[in-house]
Amino acid sequence: MSDSKPRSRRPAQPIPALQAAMAGSAADPLRRALWLNALGHQFRPVLPPALANHCRLANVTDRRLVFLVDSPVWKAKLRLATPELLQLAASLGLSATDVAAKVTTQPLWAPQPETRPAPAGSATAHKALAEVLASLDDTLSKIPAPDPMRRYRPKKS
């Protein structure tokens, strides 16, 4: 008889969701999007501050950097920044020789949700809340804990 134990097919620890999603070739578009986003962040400091808020790196294809801009005015200003962008691309190891800009009507950045701070309550409200919580602690401590070994059976009606 063999002394070998059957091998478990499950890993010792669960795989985090992001790591599982990034496994295999199905995640190639996601990896490319993350790479383009990181690359776009490296190009932002080279752009003039006013232009950086109105353009975004969209793609890198066939020796061309493709940017999205939100108006034709920013497209013209991006063309003026072409030498700096190509120099940075070369320093990053990209073989880009051209910069293209496309005007879009869609927002370049996702709108930020409005976050309003919670209104500060009065001292009286804080005191009343503290009293309610204290009374709940007292009430909960008097309730006996259920017996985990006892099975629940609904009462017959």
* Domain-embedded: residue 79: yes
Residue 1 has pLDDT above 60, yes or no: no
Counting the structural domains of the chain, the total is: 1
| 126 confidence band (pLDDT: 50, 70, 90) | confident
pLDDT at 37: 92
Distance in angstroms (rounded) separating the CA atoms of residues 92 and 122? 56
Convert the pLDDT of each residue in 20-57 to its tens digit. Answer: 666 777 778 888 888 999 999 999 999 999 999 999 99
pLDDT at 107: 77
pLDDT at 91: 93
Range of the domain at 84: 29-103
* Domain-embedded: residue 85: yes
**Residue 67 burial class via C-beta count within 10 angstroms: exposed 0-12, middle 13-18, buried 19 and up:** buried
Q: What is the CATH number of the domain that holds 45?
A: 3.30.300
The percentage of the chain sitting over the pLDDT mark of 70, rounded to a whole number, equals 72
* Domain-embedded: residue 68: yes
* Domain-embedded: residue 15: no
pLDDT at 150: 59
* Domain-embedded: residue 38: yes
* Domain-embedded: residue 39: yes
Convert the pLDDT of each residue in 73-112 to its tens digit. Answer: 999 999 999 999 999 999 999 999 999 999 998 877 777 7
- What amino acid occupies position 51? L
